[in-house]
Structure 1
Amino acid sequence: MSDQTRHSLKELQRLDEEIEIARQRIRDFGDHIADVEEPAIALESEVGKTRSRLQELKVEERRTELAAKEKGTRVERLEERLKGVRNVREEAAVSAELEMVRRALESDEQEAYSLLDQIRKISLQLEEQESALEQAQAEVGPRREELEQERTDAEKGLEDLTRKRDEFAGTVSDGELRMYEGIRRGGRRRAVAALTEDGACGHCFNVLPLQLQNEIRHGADLIRCEACGVILAQPSQAEIEAEADAEAAAEAAAEAATAAAAAAATAAAAAEAGDADGSGEDGSGDDA
């Protein structure tokens, strides 16, 4: 594979990775906005439920009030009727009915008072909830606008990346592009990987036969890893240097860890020896 082909495919892969990151970032904005709006939405739901409950209580109180009024009218009529009874039997019947209606009236009046008390309490609760909702909406508005603006900016950035990607794809040969995009469509995030210094695939680290290694390093054909299917390329000088730096850093970290462990062991041994000496001196003093 030529240096130009290797560079082109890796640059195409870099752009595709940036595009995927940008798309995920845009998708995440939906969750961020939902998180910001959630407190206000929850309060709005509570306000709606409280309003409905308040309306139900008002309807029930009005119904009870009308029923009490109707019973009050019946009480008045029965009292008038009681004044005009002609015999004891009729008086007893009217009196019994009057007493029954009075008890029903008293029950309705007590229920009406109870409903009015509930209406008063829920009205106060509704005022508090509406105040909290108003405050939450005032806080949500600016943050939501900020996130929506960031999402708009991210969408514009994605458009720019997509345009660059399309322009760059036009510089890659049809065969190379088909192979590259076929690998990407297969679900792999990486379609191109560098051959490691020891001749392994930089994606799955499967060691390749020497013949394939030589073809990758010196040939012009596109060669795919037999294990994972990515396109293999000779690493650039920058990648070689980066790998060497990473190995050196890992070795230095391992040496530092070994030295630290040795120092800790030495310190622990010294402390243990000091404790033993102190115990011996205490024992000698006791014998004396």
Structure 2
Amino acid sequence: MSKTKVQTVEEKLTNLYKLQYLTSQLDEINTLKGELPMEVSDLEDEIEGLKKRIVKMEENIKEVEHEVSRHQSNIKESIELIERYKKQLDNVQNNREFEALTKELEYQNLEIQLSEKKIREANDRKNTKNQTLEEAKARLSLKNKDLESKKTELQEIIEKTENKEDALMKKKLRAEKNVEERLLLSFDKIRERTKNGLAVVTIVRGTCGGCYNAVPPQIQIEIAQKKEIIACENCGRVIVADDVATSVDKIDRSESPEEQERRRQMIMANDDMDD
């Protein structure tokens, strides 16, 4: 806070409302961005996970293909052995040789049948894995399109609001220097526990502009007098008089809420042009 002079209560209230006014505009920019930054980050993580999964599935398919190739080699080897044993059968000298060759032939035929079964099973696994792989690739393609769309949307918002956001941040930092440390701490704490981010409000139709609970008439009078900083008895938000708020945001509180909102938008648009 500036130490050039002691602030009056009205000056403290004005500085607090100015800080709220600037902070609310930054909140609106973040609301405009919405969940996009988080969605982009989540999509990037999901896409990275999908890519790793696809690589793993492709490796598994290659392993199955190697398994099929190995069984095919076994079949080829068995066929060659069968041809050799059949030729040897023509030259057997005794029953023992005949029985030995016959057993070898049976064994190699069984090896072929087993390898053929293993190939069928492996091909079934490969087909299943290929189907899962194609589904993962299709999902990856959709996620990439979704990511590009959200990135484009986010970038457009950033480009549209970047200059304004930077200007508001500089103004907010300057405004914080004009607020007492204890009030600044209270301001931040109240913002943390409220959904709308409002720590400093005005009276709206006899109620607190933050929680909309009734403000007693005597308290309203004390707020208008600006002799002390008064907080809402229900929500703890600081309540300032209308003229304090108007000195900052230039909004006439005697107008209808709709007219106030229209004027607020006009003022913000002019601020954008000034920035």
Q: TM-score range by the shorter chain?
A: 0.5 to 0.7
- Tell me the residue number matched to 1:192: 200
Ranked by relative contact order (alpha carbons within 8 Å, sequence separation 6 or more), the top structure is: 2
Aligned equivalents of 1:105 and 1:43: distance in 2? 39
- Match 2:155 to one of 143, 146, 149: 149
Could you list the runs of 5+ residues in structure 2 that have no partner in the other structure? 1-7, 247-251, 261-275
Which residue is equivalent to 2:256?
A: 242
Scaled by the length of structure 2, the TM-score of the pair is 0.63
Q: Tell me which amino acid in the other structure corresponds to 1:178.
A: R
Structure 1 residues 151 and 33 mapped into 2: Cα distance closer, same or farther (>3 Å)?
Answer: farther
Counterparts of 2:232 and 2:124, CA distance in 1: 79
* CA RMSD between the two structures: 4.4
State the secondary structure of the residue aligned to 2:201.
Answer: strand
1:152-163 equivalences under 5 Å are 152-153=158-159, 154=161, 157-163=164-170
Task: Give the drift of 1:87.
Answer: 1.9
Compared CA separation, residues 68 and 185, structure 1 to 2 (3 A): same
Gaps of 5+ in 1: 247-288
- State the AA in 2 paired with 1:201: C
SS of the equivalent of 1:214 reads helix
Larger Rg: 1
- Whether 2:91 is the aligned partner of 1:84: answer yes
State the distance in 2 between where 1:206 and 1:147 align: 42
- How many pairs are equivalent? 240
1:102 to 106, 109, 120: 109
Q: Percent identity?
A: 21
> What is the CA-CA distance between 1:60 and the residue it aligns to?
0.9
From the two aligned structures, give the one with the greater helix fraction.
Answer: 1
Q: Distance in 2 between the 1:173 and 1:214 partners?
A: 24
CA contact (8 A) 2:226 2:241 kept: no
Residue in 2 that maps onto 1:179: 183
CA–CA separation in structure 2 for the residues paired with 1:217 and 1:229: 18
Displacement of 1:110: 6.2
